[in-house]
Structures are given as C-alpha cells and as structure tokens.
Amino acid sequence: MRQPFVAGNWKMHGALERNRGLVADIAEGAAEIDGVQIAICPPFVYLDQLHALLGGSGVALGAQNGCAEPEGAFTGEVAMPMLQDFACRYVIVGHSERRQYYHEDDALVGRKAARAVSCGITPIICIGETLAQREAEATESVVTGQLQGLLDSAGHEVLGKAVIAYEPIWAIGTGRTATPEQAQAVHAGIRRWLGEHDIAADALPLLYGGSVKPDNAAELFAQADIDGGLIGGASLEAASFLDICRAAARVDR
Ligand code: PGA
C-alpha cells in the first residue's frame, strides 16, 4: 500500500514573517487530514525556522537541493548531513529548474540521491520532458533515459528508496497541466520500467508535478499510478495547499 504524499516546493519564495502564518495555518489544517504524508520544502535559510514551527505537527520537512559531497571546500553548497541537523526527511534532487539553470545531469542527480539515502533522507527525484520532446513523441524515451541515467549513477538500492516525481517541464508554473490521462500514461510507464529493472515498483511513490491546483488535484490523484503531487505555486497559500492535501486524502485505493 502506497500512502498518498503531497510535498510543497516553495522554490525561491518565503520571508520570516510570512512563513510564520503560512506554516501555522498549514499545520493546523494538516492535523485534520488523515492518511496523507505532507511535507514542505522551503529554501535552506528557512529550514531552522520551519523545523521549529513544524515540531510535533506531523508535517515533514524537506530541502530543495543538497550537495553530492559529504563536506569540504564547496563554497555555496549545503551538505546532506547538515540537512539531518534540521530533521529533513526529504530532499528534492534534479528539479528541472536545477537541470536547466544549473546544468545538473542525471549522473550528478544520482550521486545526490545516493548521498541523501546514505544520510537517511528520502530523495524526491524529478524527471520529465520538455514541450519539444513531447511534441516529437519522445516523452517515454526521455523519461526512461533519465531513469537509466539515474540507475547507472545511483544504483538499484538507492532508486528503490526514492520518491520519483514526474514533472513535465511544459506544465511547471505555466498553468498548463498534463491531463490525468497523459500523466497516468507516463506514470504507468515509469512503474513498468522500474519493475523491469528489479526495483520495488509497487512500493515506490510516484508523484505528479506541474500546475497542480485544488481544481485538478482530485482527478490527477485518482489515477492508479499517481500517488500524490509535488506542488509549487499552490503550496504558497495554506488554503490551496490544504485543499490539494484533502484531495489526496479522499482518493480511494
Ligand atoms: P508548479 O511547480 O506547481 O508551480 O507548476 C511544480 C514544481 O516545479 O515542483
């Protein structure tokens, strides 16, 4: 049985004062929602604040990135063991914005995932195709190519302990969501590929990300292979984020 999972990716948003109200509202609402794993991934500098605010709430904390190296002379980086100090249960790795703007590739993302797992942190590994790749009908080959690159770098054991987020790049922050059928087709393909590569496919949570909103969440989460969502814009308001979490709770598996 895979538990529904909803993670908020704040990206580069947040401010000390604003976070206080937002997190208090999310924690209060989340207390009424059963059976869904909920996480918030703020920018690094707010991990300490959110660690304190979320304490005892049942809402988990995650980071948006982490270094593949354990420590050392890597100016500007944050090590996975440092995330442990703030009780981060999750870390997003390989988000398309990091792949696009910071040139991260599958080999590096795989090493980050391995480092996270070695620290007891679950990596949320993002994959997904561009609009041009979808229009060229290359979605499946792009996604399975990314999975193969990750497997080559991280190995079976690490991939088996990850959460995978399918985020079509053309749907991120654009208001243009994949239809539930489009998303389900890719998720089923990912699960099939994992099974074919001896990774515990039935147990692995597969999230969808890309313009998930309260009005489309229920339909997406109702798909057989979509176990929840990675939520960007809609995680910055308690009401919309909680509505999405409630939609995940209502899914009848
Ligand atoms: P979005 O972002 O919900 O704002 O489209 C999702 C993501 O990038 O994780």
State yes or no: is 95 an active-site residue.
yes
**Which range of residues forms the domain containing residue 9?**
5-249
Residue nearest to atom 6 of ligand 1 (CA): 232
**The pLDDT of residue 161:** 97
Residue 144 has which token pair? 């399975």
218 CA to centre of ligand 1 in angstroms: 16
Pocket test for ligand 1, best of 127, 170, 212 (most atoms within 8 A of CB): 212
**The pLDDT of residue 247:** 98
The C-alpha atoms of residue 117 and residue 11 are separated, in whole angstroms, by 22
Residue nearest to atom 7 of ligand 1 (CA): 232
Those residues whose C-beta lies under 8 Å from the C-beta of residue 149, and which sit 6 or more positions away, are: 105, 106, 107, 110
Residue nearest to atom 3 of ligand 1 (CA): 232
Which atom of ligand 1 lies closest to the CA of 231?
A: 3
pLDDT tens, the chain, 253 aa long: 799 999 999 999 999 999 999 999 999 999 999 999 999 999 999 999 999 999 999 999 999 999 999 999 999 999 999 999 999 999 999 999 999 999 999 999 999 999 999 999 999 999 999 999 999 999 999 999 999 999 999 999 999 999 999 999 999 989 888 899 999 999 999 999 999 999 988 899 999 999 999 999 999 999 999 999 999 999 999 999 999 999 999 987 6
Question: How many domains are contained in the chain?
Answer: 1
**pTM of this structure:** 0.97
**The pLDDT of residue 91:** 98
Which atom of ligand 1 lies closest to the CA of 211?
A: 5
**The pLDDT of residue 175:** 85
Pocket test for ligand 1, best of 65, 99, 231 (most atoms within 8 A of CB): 231
Residue nearest to atom 1 of ligand 1 (CA): 232
Catalytic residue among 104, 129, 167, 187: 167
The C-alpha atoms of residue 19 and residue 40 are separated, in whole angstroms, by 11
Kindly list the distances between the CA atom of residue 198 and the CA atoms of 17, 154, 160, 190, in Å, as whole numbers in the listed order.
47, 14, 9, 13
> 67: which strand partners?
79
**The pLDDT of residue 200:** 85
Residue nearest to atom 2 of ligand 1 (CA): 232
Query: What residue ranges line ligand 1, CB within 6 angstroms?
Result: 9, 167, 172-173, 209-212, 230-234
Is the Cβ–Cβ distance between 127 and 96 less than 8 Å?
no
The C-alpha atoms of residue 226 and residue 210 are separated, in whole angstroms, by 13
| Dihedrals phi, psi of 46, to nearest 5 degrees | -105, 5
State yes or no: is 156 an active-site residue.
no
Catalytic residue among 95, 97, 104, 187: 95
CATH number at residue 91: 3.20.20.70
